[in-house]
Amino acid sequence: MQVAELDTIDSLADGLCGYLGKDQVNNVRRAYYYAEQAHEGQCRRSGDAYVTHPLAVASILSEMHMDHQSLMAAMLHDVIEDTGITKTAIKSQFGNTVADLVDGVSKLNKITFSSRAEARAENFQKMAMAMAKDLRVILVKIADRLHNMRTLEVLTPEKRRRIAKETLDIYAPIANRLGMNNVRVEFEELGFAALCPMRSRRISAAVKRIHGNRKEIVSQIQTSLEACLEREGLPGRTIGREKHLYSIYEKMRSKRKSFSEIMDVYAFRIIVDRVDTCYRVLGAVHSLYKPVPGRFKDYIAIPKANGYQSLHTTLFGMHGVPIEIQIRTEEMEAMANNGIASHWLYKSSDDLPSNAHIRAREWVNGLLELQKHAGNSLEFIENVKIDLFPDEIYVFTPKGMIFELPAGSTAVDFAYAIHTDVGNSCVACRISRRLAPLSEPLQSGQTVEIITAPGTQPNPAWLSFVVTGKARSNIRHYLKNQKHSESVVLGRRLLNKALASFGSDLDSVSKDNIDAVLNQINLKALDQLLEEIGLGNRMSYMIAQRLAAHSNVAPLEIDSESEQQGTLAIRGSEGMVMNYAKCCHPIPGDPIVGHISSGRGMVIHTDDCNNIADIRDNPDKCVAVSWDPDVEGEFSVELRVELENLRGIIATLATTITGTEANIEKISTVERDARFSIVNLSLNVRNRVHLARVMKRVRLIKPVTKVTRVKSRRVRKVLKSIIGTH
């Protein structure tokens, strides 16, 4: 066994001599022997000595022509996790850079997580942080995962499926994002075979069956393409592209196409010497076969986010056979296959970083921004996964700057791609010079102008249509902070109201008393307590009682008049922690009561609402509230209109209501009989006076027989009484 291992490290070292210096190769050898000693006595599931795994990982990286530090880190990547050796020991032996790379790749193993999903997410979060310091971390990690995928067969079926799913969900898209096409394809093929073995075998057998029939057509098309290039005097080589099993399966699944429909398309790649030759070849093949309109893409002028460059076109070949053609240079071909790794493959000491390297770093910096704003690791990984599956579109700023976004992105995604502040203060947009809704999906080639206004804030409704992780995480982050500050303000008002019954207020309570109460309830700061009260998680009266007890103050005797004066005034501008009940639709002018709802803050109901009848007099759950004289905003209300069925009556009704400066949110019609209908309306009004004006105008419409406000839904009560009688 020992001899075989020496042969293996020797054969790796022989390969490395082709592009690394003698001292660097010796350092890689030294790392191997160190790892061999550290893993002494450890075996893999297959029975092989454990050191064969780090050696195989280093061999994968050597094929990418990675530098000696990456290869040393590959040799040592499991030493911290699986042996007693520390990062400090590695640092003293091999230097800071190698130690940091090893630490970045090492898995999290000392933290207890609530679920396996969270552990994976935390692990990925640590990897993102390490990638920010050194991009080689992800390449070592990818090589590690690739060797694990190649040796999956020794694991249990359940573990195989779990690792394969994680690879398809996270590692294959990362390889794609970094432009490493060869690695991505292998991840997908191995992952598909492990996750869906039956489907993989059936598609593989079907591909083999039709291979013979296709051979002749592929040969004919290739011959005609080569003859065309020769006639035009264009140097280049033509390769027939094989479709991979996983890509066939994904197209069948996502595009709902049959196997024969997918395999009817013939794919070729033409590789040439220079960029201008690419465009000349495009002209030549378009004159040979007719191009399919709308299927041409120029990724040379506008490269993909991962640095991929190529011309794509689809042609009608002989007998109407579709032919997909990619045209690129040798350098673009290497870039497409190796992606970010080609930065190290072609890098000389005085070279500037390649496009792929710059784009990869931009992506990693974007990951760090997502991480900063994410609430937890699972939210972070959810946002990352969105960005890892982009079917790209390209849009322009009015000044001609290009932005790449995932398909389905909206103007809000575009605004956040420009800058977080632009997204936060966005109010409207122009798409190709016309005013458009913020929720309209963008198309490639459009020019998008964002209109901002100072003092505006993100709308929670945006979360229902934004696509990018950056937009989603920034909106959530802003709303979370906004909700926090609003709940602190409401909590302060509620606590002051409760303290008023003890003849006190928060400003007059000593710091020692506040600290004593905070210690009792295990909170660190007053703001935390106020937020808890504002969100309805703690009762203001109970906290006031504790504060008063520490001050030895007895509650005041309150008569009904002073109690009325001590009500909480509702201003209509409290934000997300003040909600208006959907069951009774309270509006300014209605007698109201506040229900403290855990996690939501305060919910305002009308005084006679059925849904709070049982808890109306419970001081722990309900608070006396009244409308502030200067209340502002629009409030939702429901109307029921009975009218005759006449042509155009709904339009007349809508025009009349909008003429009173009320907005219609929702309208629905129920036919009562052949002659009469009932129209249910949901409107936004300012107060009861405004509502009375609306109802008066609606009653003046001749076909209208009755207008009533739907104040409280009594359905539940009726149902309860019916259930109770049986």
Arch. (CATH architecture) of 635-719:
2-Layer Sandwich (3.30)
- Is residue 362 annotated as part of the catalytic site, yes or no? no
Amino acid at 583: C
pLDDT at site 212: 67
Tokens of 688: 């009861």
Can you tell me the mean pLDDT for 256-265? 77
Helix (H) or strand (E) holding 268: strand 266-272
pLDDT at site 147: 92
For residue 271, give the nearest of 303, 240, 227, 232 by alpha carbon. Answer: 240
Instruction: Please count the residues of the chain.
Output: 726
Class of domain 202-342: alpha beta
Q: Confidence class of residue 723 from pLDDT cuts 50, 70 and 90? A: very low
Strand order across the beta sheet in which 448-452 lies: 434-436, 426-431, 448-452
Q: Contact at 8 Å (CB) between 101 and 303?
A: no
Q: What is the DSSP letter of 49?
A: B
C-alpha dihedral sign at 7, 9, 11, 14: negative
Q: Confidence class of residue 198 from pLDDT cuts 50, 70 and 90? A: very high
For residue 146, give the nearest of 121, 124, 175, 119 by alpha carbon. Answer: 175
SS3 (DSSP) at 88 = helix
List the domain boundaries for the chain: 2-195, 202-342, 359-384+405-442+455-476, 477-627, 635-719
Rounded Cα–Cα distance for residues 126 and 111 (Å): 12
Q: Confidence class of residue 563 from pLDDT cuts 50, 70 and 90? A: very low
Rounded Cα–Cα distance for residues 693 and 696 (Å): 5
Q: Is the whole model's pTM more than 0.95, yes or no?
A: no
Q: What is the pLDDT of residues 324-381, one digit of tens each?
A: 899 999 888 877 777 666 555 444 444 445 565 666 666 666 666 665 666 555 656 5
Name the average pLDDT for the chain. Answer: 80
Q: Contact at 8 Å (CB) between 86 and 99?
A: no
Tokens of 123: 């692990």
689 vs 713: which has the higher pLDDT: 689
First to last CA, the chain: 81
Q: What is the DSSP pairing of strand 601-606 with strand 578-580?
A: parallel
Q: Confidence class of residue 108 from pLDDT cuts 50, 70 and 90? A: very low
Q: Which of 81, 134, 331, 608 is catalytic?
A: 81
pLDDT at site 192: 92
Can you tell me the mean pLDDT for 264-271? 85
Tokens of 223: 């011959």
Output the CA–CA distances (angstroms, integers) from residue 475 to 478, 479, 493, 558, 575, in the order listed: 5, 6, 27, 45, 16
Q: How many helices (H) and strands (E) does the chain have?
A: 30, 20
Asked if residue 181 has pLDDT above 90, the reply is no
Asked if residue 648 has pLDDT above 60, the reply is yes
205 CB contacts (<8 Å, ≥6 apart)? none
Q: What is the pLDDT of residues 475-505, one digit of tens each?
A: 888 877 777 787 787 788 888 877 877 777 7
Can you tell me the mean pLDDT for 414-438? 89
For residue 675, give the nearest of 643, 699, 704 by alpha carbon. Answer: 643
The CATH T-level fold of domain 2-195 is Hypothetical protein af1432 (1.10.3210)
Q: Which of 5, 48, 67, 82 is catalytic?
A: 82
For residue 128, give the nearest of 86, 170, 190, 80 by alpha carbon. Answer: 170
User: Cα-atom radius of gyration of the chain, to the nearest Å?
Assistant: 34
Q: What is the DSSP letter of 398?
A: T
% of the chain beyond a pLDDT of 90: 15
Rounded Cα–Cα distance for residues 605 and 607 (Å): 6
The per-residue DSSP string of 281-313 comes to HHHHHHHHSEEPTT--EETTTS--TT----EEE
Q: What is the pLDDT of residues 567-625, one digit of tens each?
A: 778 877 666 667 888 888 899 999 999 888 776 678 889 988 888 888 887 777 788 88
Rounded Cα–Cα distance for residues 666 and 664 (Å): 6
pLDDT at site 340: 66
697 vs 368: which has the higher pLDDT: 697
Buried b / exposed e over 241-262, threshold 16 CB at 10 Å, is eebbbbebbebbeeeeeebeeb
SS3 (DSSP) at 317 = coil
For residue 246, give the nearest of 178, 182, 196 by alpha carbon. Answer: 196
Tokens of 652: 């007349």
pLDDT at site 352: 46
124 vs 106: which has the higher pLDDT: 106
pLDDT at site 4: 34
DSSP helix, strand, coil percent of the chain (3-state; round to 5): 55, 15, 30
Q: What is the pLDDT of residues 241-251, one digit of tens each?
A: 777 888 888 88
Q: What is the DSSP letter of 110?
A: S
- Is residue 82 annotated as part of the catalytic site, yes or no? yes
